[in-house]
Amino acid sequence: MRKKMLGKIVSVAMAVTLMAGMTACSKSEGTATETKEKSTETQEYTPLETESENISTETKFKDTINIAVAQESATYDLPKTTSVVARQMLAGTVWERLVTLNANAEPVPELCTSWDMSADAKTFTFYLRKGVLFHDGTEMKAEDVAASLNRWIESYSQAMALVGSGRFTVVDDYTVTITTDNAALTLVDMLAGATQVAIITTKECCEDLDENGYMKKFIGTGPYTYVEWVQGQYILLTRFDDYVPYYPAGVSDEVMDGWAGYKHAYTKNLKFWYVPESSTIVAGLQTGQYDVAAVSGENIATVEGAGLSVASEQGGISCLVFNKSEESIANNIYIRKAVNAAVNCDDLLLSAYGEFYDLGSCYMDNTNAFWLTDAGKEEYNQHDADKAKEYLEQAGYNGETFTILAPTLNHYDNIGLVMEQELEEIGMNVEVTTCDWATFTQLRTDKTCFDLYVTSFATVPIPTLKSFFGASYPGWTDDEHLTELLSEFNAATTKEAALEKWIEIQGYCWDYLPCIVPGHYGSAVAYNPNVKGLYLGNGMYYWNAYIVEE
CA distances 70 to 212, 296, 299, 314, Å, are 25, 10, 14, 18
Q: Do 488 and 353 fall into the same domain?
A: yes
Phi-psi region of 525 (alpha: psi -120 to 50; beta: other; left: phi over 0): beta
Q: Do 370 and 468 fall into the same domain?
A: yes
Q: Do 106 and 14 fall into the same domain?
A: no
| Alpha-carbon gap, residue 94 to 240, rounded angstroms | 9
- Residue whose C-alpha is closest to residue 151's, from 202, 190, 102, 106: 202
Q: Do 193 and 329 fall into the same domain?
A: no
Query: Is the dihedral angle over the CA atoms 458, 463, 468, 473 positive or is it negative?
Result: negative
Q: Do 25 and 87 fall into the same domain?
A: no
Last residue of a domain, one of 168, 187, 222: 222
How many CA atoms lie less than 13 Å away from 138 in the CB half-sphere? 13
Q: Do 19 and 124 fall into the same domain?
A: no
How many CA atoms lie less than 13 Å away from 422 in the CB half-sphere? 25
Tell me if 235 is assigned to some domain: no
Residues 6+ apart with CB under 8 A from 527: 50, 291, 292, 293, 308, 309, 310, 311, 534
Which residue stretches of 120-241 are H helix? 142-155, 157-163, 187-193, 203-207
pLDDT of 259: 84
pLDDT of 331: 97
Element (H, E) at 278: helix 278-287
- Is the Cβ–Cβ distance between 287 and 306 less than 8 Å? no
**pTM (two decimals):** 0.77
Instruction: Specify which residues 272 forms β-bridges with.
Output: 67, 235
Q: Do 109 and 193 fall into the same domain?
A: yes
Last residue of a domain, one of 222, 256, 291: 222
Biggest CA–CA distance in the chain, Å, is 75
Amino acid at 507: G
Element counts in the chain: helices (H) and strands (E): 16, 23
Tell me if 112 is assigned to some domain: yes
Q: Do 415 and 469 fall into the same domain?
A: yes
Residues 6+ apart with CB under 8 A from 397: 329, 335, 338, 427, 428
Query: Angle at CA 151, nearest 5°, toward 149 and 152?
Result: 60
Q: Do 212 and 112 fall into the same domain?
A: yes
Q: Do 24 and 152 fall into the same domain?
A: no
Q: Do 210 and 343 fall into the same domain?
A: no
Residues 6+ apart with CB under 8 A from 519: 317, 318, 345, 349, 357, 358, 359, 360
Q: Do 400 and 500 fall into the same domain?
A: yes
Tell me if 260 is assigned to some domain: no
Tell me if 160 is assigned to some domain: yes
pLDDT of 47: 33
Chain center to CA of 313: 13
Phi-psi region of 321 (alpha: psi -120 to 50; beta: other; left: phi over 0): beta
| Alpha-carbon gap, residue 305 to 285, rounded angstroms | 12
- Residue whose C-alpha is closest to residue 67's, from 234, 185, 196, 265: 234
Last residue of a domain, one of 222, 246, 268: 222
- Is the Cβ–Cβ distance between 22 and 366 less than 8 Å? yes
Tell me if 237 is assigned to some domain: no
**Which residue range is the domain that position 325 belongs to?**
8-44+314-523
Q: The CATH number of the domain where 437 resides is what?
A: 3.10.105.10
Instruction: Specify which residues 427 forms β-bridges with.
Output: none
pLDDT of 6: 34
Q: The CATH number of the domain where 181 resides is what?
A: 3.90.76.10
Tell me if 201 is assigned to some domain: yes
pLDDT of 456: 93
- Residue whose C-alpha is closest to residue 418's, from 452, 395, 386, 375: 452
- Give the chain's domain count: 2
pLDDT in tens, the chain (550 residues): 343 343 333 332 333 233 333 333 333 333 333 333 322 222 222 334 455 566 777 889 999 999 999 888 889 999 999 888 899 999 999 999 999 988 888 899 999 999 999 988 999 999 999 999 999 999 999 999 999 999 999 999 889 988 999 999 999 999 999 999 988 988 999 999 988 999 999 999 999 999 999 999 999 999 999 999 999 999 999 999 999 987 654 444 556 778 888 888 999 999 999 999 989 999 999 999 999 998 888 888 899 999 999 988 888 899 999 999 999 999 999 999 999 999 999 999 999 988 889 999 999 988 778 899 999 999 999 999 999 999 999 999 999 999 999 999 889 999 999 999 999 999 999 999 999 988 999 999 999 999 999 999 888 888 988 889 988 899 999 999 999 999 889 888 888 999 999 999 999 999 999 999 999 998 889 999 999 989 887 778 899 999 998 7
DSSP secondary structure of 461-497: SSGGG-GGG-TTSTT----HHHHHHHHHHHT-SSHHH
